[in-house]
Amino acid sequence: MRTLFALCAAAATAFPAILSAETAPTEVSFSEYGEVFESLTGVPGDPEEGYKSAVSRGAGNCVACHTAQGWSQEQFPGDVGPELTGVGARYEPAQIRGILVNAKHTFPETVMPAFYNVSNLYRPGDGYTGKAAKSPDVTVLTAQQIEDILALLLTFTEE
């Protein structure tokens, strides 16, 4: 697994011009089941970077709501959402990518935030400052962070 990622990462840096094209949040296309089949960046995700984004309060903060064997060393994960242990075996990558980009396509009305979305937001703020967002284009996570967290979750294959 590790070597495969290393190879992909090497390949990615070899063709930066082609691969830097990112899909904008408003351009992401969802299947009727909420899946997103295409990579948002073309750059394979890095699970170690994904881990950092998943546990950091300023980034995905997935630990606020989810526990997972994969981050069992983190203190006091929350239980607002289901446990993510084994999620990489339960779901196809496109389904997980869709859930990360905007879970409401998969689970209507869910409390899980949309992490790569700029539409239908009310009073978006500038991080945790309580002030207004500096730009209307901010997303909680970057396209690459989504791919990185996806890569991390795909390693969560054991129940």
Interaction site with ligand HEC (CB under 6 A): 54, 60-62, 64-66, 80-82, 84, 87, 90, 96, 99-100, 107, 110-113, 115, 149, 153
CA neighbor of 139 nearest in space, from 155, 109, 116: 116
Applying CB under 8 A, which part among 2-10, 19-27, 35-43, 133-141 lies near another protein?
A: 133-141
Query: Which of ligand HEC, another protein, none lies near 66, with the C-beta cut-off 5 to 8 A by kind?
Result: ligand HEC
User: Judged by CB, which is closer to another protein: 43, or 140?
Assistant: 140
Distances (CA, A) of 155 to 1, 31, 36, 47, 48: 9, 24, 19, 8, 11
CA neighbor of 116 nearest in space, from 19, 22, 21, 24: 24
Distances (CA, A) of 22 to 11, 27, 34, 42, 144: 17, 10, 19, 8, 9
Exactly one of 36, 59, 63, 154 binds another protein (CB under 8 A); that residue is: 63
Exactly one of 3, 26, 128, 135 binds another protein (CB under 8 A); that residue is: 128
Q: What would the two tokens of residue 86 be?
A: 């084994």
Based on its alpha-carbon atoms, the radius of gyration of the chain, rounded to whole angstroms, reads: 16
Exactly one of 74, 90, 155, 157 binds another protein (CB under 8 A); that residue is: 74
Query: Which of ligand HEC, another protein, none lies near 133, with the C-beta cut-off 5 to 8 A by kind?
Result: another protein
Give CA 119 to chain center in angstroms. Answer: 17
List of residues contacting another protein (CB under 8 A)? 61, 63-65, 67-69, 72-80, 83, 85, 111, 113-114, 120-133, 138-140
